[in-house]
């Protein structure tokens, strides 16, 4: 994937956070390097994603407090563990103190039904939490949800807009637009293949096209993982994925039993190429 040009240039770094607009900051967390975000208003601050467990969440709160002492509201970009397992910590009035945790309704439903299924993924970073022990061991779904209609959050003098562009990386991807920046969650990946497990590949291509159409509003894109980019990277990702979906769809149709023959000609590593084929089959 190509490096972005203009939006990459000379960003201010504040207490280890990269400032991406007048009110918005981002930084990667340790472990899976998920990019979290903070949007600072006059009355409250918005935290985008909560980390992979309560210990990481506690460290994250310390990092947030280097930027702002304002009360927090939280949003989850999607249901995957490295973005939501800190929810219980942030929801605790004695800890993060967030009164609201926003997410897409499909993400909330997935966390309630399947959130436990990813707990062992974090064993190295969060051994206690992985064993469902210690404080804030609960896997908490968003407490406030949206569907297809966007939701504005007034932070005092600055408004963040939560919106859904259809199914993609998951069926509950939420984006956060503020100033000239959009936090895209894992709908956009920089420096790595898109993660197709659990995804809706055909819809994902469409969602990337819709995102790209917002380039005048949001020329700066914070991906779920990797460097801050411009919409040119979203365009590259969409073109590559569109091509991959076409090739893999043909392979699935022509070789009902062994479409994995297409793995070497797909523009991704073998693991994600296989996941793409699996998901094309599963999602019809
Ligand atoms: Zn993800």
**Does residue 55 register a pLDDT over 70?**
yes
Q: Give me the phi and psi of 13, to 5 degrees please.
A: -110, 125
Q: Mind listing the pLDDT tens digit for each residue in 238-275?
A: 999 999 999 999 988 887 667 788 888 899 999 999 99
The number of residues making up the chain comes to: 284
Q: Is 249 left (phi over 0), alpha (psi -120 to 50) or beta?
A: alpha
Please compute the mean of the pLDDT values over residues 50-67 and round it to a whole number. 98
Which pLDDT does position 259 carry in this prediction?
Answer: 76
Q: What distance in Å separates the CA atoms of residue 18 and residue 100, rounded to the nearest whole number?
A: 25
Which pLDDT does position 1 carry in this prediction?
Answer: 43
Residue 135 Cα to ligand 1 midpoint, Å, equals 25
Residue 254 Cα to ligand 1 midpoint, Å, equals 30
Please compute the mean of the pLDDT values over residues 133-139 and round it to a whole number. 97
| Least confident among 136-140, 160-164, 182-186, 259-263 | 259-263
Domain ranges for the chain, please list them.
6-232
Residue 169 Cα to ligand 1 midpoint, Å, equals 7
Q: What distance in Å separates the CA atoms of residue 268 and residue 264, rounded to the nearest whole number?
A: 8
Residue 35 Cα to ligand 1 midpoint, Å, equals 11
Residues forming a β-bridge with 161: 152, 177
Which pLDDT does position 3 carry in this prediction?
Answer: 45
Q: Mind listing the pLDDT tens digit for each residue in 104-130?
A: 999 999 999 999 999 999 999 999 999
User: Domain 6-232: which CATH class?
Assistant: alpha beta
Residue 178 Cα to ligand 1 midpoint, Å, equals 21
Residue 28 Cα to ligand 1 midpoint, Å, equals 14
The closest alpha carbon to 111, from 91, 135, 134, 133, belongs to 91
């Amino acid at each position: 994937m190509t490096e972005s040009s203009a939006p990459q240039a000379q960003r201010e770094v504040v207490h280890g956070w990269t400032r991406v607009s007048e009110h918005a900051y981002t930084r990667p967390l340790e472990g899976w390097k998920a990019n979290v975000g903070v949007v600072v208003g006059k009355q409250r601050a918005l935290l985008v994603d909560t980390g992979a467990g309560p210990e990481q969440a506690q460290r994250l709160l310390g990092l947030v407090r280097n930027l702002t002492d304002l009360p927090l509201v939280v949003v989850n970009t999607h249901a995957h563990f490295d973005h939501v397992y800190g929810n219980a910590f942030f929801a605790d009035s004695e800890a993060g103190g967030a009164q609201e945790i926003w997410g897409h309704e499909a993400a909330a439903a997935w966390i309630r039904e399947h959130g436990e299924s990813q707990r062992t993924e974090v064993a190295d970073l969060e051994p206690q939490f992985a064993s469902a022990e210690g404080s804030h061991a609960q896997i908490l779904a968003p407490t406030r949800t949206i569907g297809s209609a966007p939701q504005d959050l007034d932070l005092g003098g600055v408004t963040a807009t939560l919106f859904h562009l259809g199914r993609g990386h998951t069926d509950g991807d939420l984006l956060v637009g503020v100033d000239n920046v959009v936090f895209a969650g894992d709908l956009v990946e920089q420096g790595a293949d898109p993660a197709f497990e659990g995804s809706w590949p055909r819809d994902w291509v469409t969602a990337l096209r819709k995102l790209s159409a917002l380039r005048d509003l949001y020329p700066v894109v914070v991906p779920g993982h990797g460097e801050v980019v411009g919409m040119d990277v979203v365009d590259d990702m969409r073109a590559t994925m569109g091509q991959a979906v076409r090739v893999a769809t043909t392979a699935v149709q022509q070789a009902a039993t062994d479409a994995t023959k297409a793995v070497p000609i797909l523009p991704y590593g073998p693991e994600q190429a296989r996941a793409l084929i699996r998901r094309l089959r599963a999602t019809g």
